[in-house]
């Protein structure tokens, strides 16, 4: 008996760059980024988050992606001119149907850039969870996706009000990198601080 080939599309997402007042700050992959904004700078600080979405055919047969759906967190605004132009926007949701009728070959990867802007406001803080998912995966033989567990990915960014001196610290970005050591069950937390003085 011939084994049926697996159809498996995988989506990944990461924060590539944080841009504060038009200056690139970078970002650590596979980490939670915490952005602290001083209270006096809330209304004038410009913050953009640049995300990369990767869709890869990790299966054994070519296939089609019906939709790539990007959920914009509340308090963030889609920057269309700085993102890939094939997104359709509808009430906080971005949808791409670029590969609805085009095959993604085995091993092939398609990347998308999405840029979101933080909407300035004293009430716009907390956790911003940016989620992407792929739906309607199929192919010419009417196969369905073999592994739905890799059809969704999320990135979390924390926004908070900075503490400390008004003069010394304007913006403090903390990258918290969680490293899990499975053998002994230890959760290590590493913090890298970037301090930027306000001119």
For residue 164, the model assigns a pLDDT of 59
For residue 140, the model assigns a pLDDT of 86
pLDDT tens readout for residues 109-151: 999 999 999 999 999 999 999 999 999 999 888 888 989 999 9
pLDDT tens readout for residues 81-105: 999 878 999 888 999 998 888 899 9
pLDDT tens readout for residues 155-191: 999 999 987 544 333 344 444 444 433 333 444 333 3
**C-alpha pair distances (Å), 79 with each of 9, 100, 114, 118, 191:** 27, 24, 8, 10, 30
Residue 77 pLDDT > 80, yes or no?
A: yes
For residue 30, the model assigns a pLDDT of 79
């Amino acid at each position: 008996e011939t084994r049926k080939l697996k159809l498996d599309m995988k989506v990944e997402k990461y924060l590539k760059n944080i841009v504060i007042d038009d200056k690139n700050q970078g970002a650590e992959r596979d980490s939670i980024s915490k952005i602290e904004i001083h209270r006096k700078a809330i209304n004038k600080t410009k913050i953009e988050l640049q995300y990369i979405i990767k869709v890869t055919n990790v299966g054994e047969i070519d296939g089609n992606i019906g939709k790539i759906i990007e959920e914009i967190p509340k308090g963030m605004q889609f920057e269309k001119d700085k993102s890939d132009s094939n997104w359709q926007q509808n009430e906080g949701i971005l949808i791409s149907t670029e590969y609805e009728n085009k095959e993604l070959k085995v091993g092939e990867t398609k990347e998308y850039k999405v840029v979101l802007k933080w909407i300035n406001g004293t009430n716009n803080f907390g956790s911003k969870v940016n989620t992407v998912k792929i739906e309607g995966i199929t192919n010419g033989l009417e196969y369905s996706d073999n592994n739905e567990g890799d059809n969704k990915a999320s990135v979390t960014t924390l926004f908070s009000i900075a503490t400390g001196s008004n003069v010394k610290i304007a913006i403090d970005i903390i990258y918290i990198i969680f490293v899990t050591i499975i053998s002994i069950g230890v959760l290590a937390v590493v913090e890298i601080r970037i301090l930027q003085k306000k001119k």
